[in-house]
Chain A
Amino acid sequence: MIGYAVIFGFACLALALALNLWRLLKGPSVGDRIAALDTMVINAIAVIVLIGIAKANDTYFEAALLLAMVGFVGTVAYCKFMLRGDIVE
């Protein structure tokens, strides 16, 4: 049963990533693109967690944790650049 749930989860996340990509390409403003990238990172973390469940291997969670941290720093860096024209003042 977990196998079917994992397949359903992969399908949902693939569709979600495609929707995020559509918003990333369409815009129309910079804020939309930053929000789309942020959501893509969160969905990528979910994909990594699902791969860890599918392979029954808990090493994948370190990658997920690292991606959570780097994704947050990236979003804040984009926003700071838009707000101040500089990242580290």
Chain B
Amino acid sequence: MTDLGILAEIATSVMIVLGAGFALVGSWGLVRLPTLMERLHGPTKATTLGLGGMLVGSVLFFQLDQGKWSAHELLISLFLFITAPIAANMIAKVHLHRLRAREANEAESAAGIPPAPPGDADWATFEAPRDGTPVTTSEG
């Protein structure tokens, strides 16, 4: 085996191990942290980074070990890095909405409810629409 082969194996293994470790840390945070707003940090940051590392390891494996170039993995990476913040934002909106509706049976996060936005604006999850905005588009 050439030196390049050993280096390629080391690089691929390090990326796989780092990725799996970050994925485990993200899930551990999901279990361990006290409230939902804190729990969201684990999956959105650590798990996404872990999957990104594993995909880089996969690119290295197919490029250096198997000798075929494939870019699907970078596509998955890009897609996940775009969608993970959106999914986390939606979950946080669900949490705010249920706190406002007094349906959530859990403690507020350590930082409390986020402050109201400036002006007469309100968080997008809350009921009362601003002037001229229909409540739902299905009724209009």
Contacts and interface: CB of A to CB of B under 8 A. Distances in A.
A19 B79 CA distance: 25
Interface residues of B, number: 62
B40 A1 contact: no
Interface in B1-45: 9-10, 12-14, 16-17, 19-21, 23-24, 26-28, 30-31, 36, 39-40, 42-43
Which of A11, A16, A49, A53 lies at the interface centre, i.e. has the most chain B CB atoms within 10 A of its CB? A16
B35 to A, nearest CB: 9
Nearest to B137: A89
A75 B94 CA distance: 11
B27 A35 contact: no
Which of the four size classes fits the interface of chain A? 35 or more
- The majority secondary structure among interface residues of chain A is helix
Interface string A25-37: 0001111101110
B113 interface: no
Which of A8, A39, A61, A64 lies at the interface centre, i.e. has the most chain B CB atoms within 10 A of its CB? A39
Contacts of B62: 58
Contacts of B80: 42, 45, 68
Which of B20, B23, B27, B30 lies at the interface centre, i.e. has the most chain A CB atoms within 10 A of its CB? B27
Nearest to A12: B20
A80 B55 CA distance: 30
A38 B87 contact: yes
B58 to A, nearest CB: 5
Interface string B66-88: 10101011011001100110111
Given A15-B27, A16-B47, A30-B98, 14 more contacts: A5-B13, A9-B54, A16-B26, A28-B105, A29-B36, A35-B43, A35-B91, A38-B87, A43-B47, A45-B76, A49-B51, A56-B65, A79-B87, A89-B136
Interface of A: 1-2, 4-6, 8-9, 11-13, 15-17, 19-20, 22-23, 28-32, 34-36, 38-39, 42-43, 45-46, 49-50, 52-53, 56, 58, 61-62, 64-65, 68-69, 72, 75-76, 79-80, 82-84, 86, 89
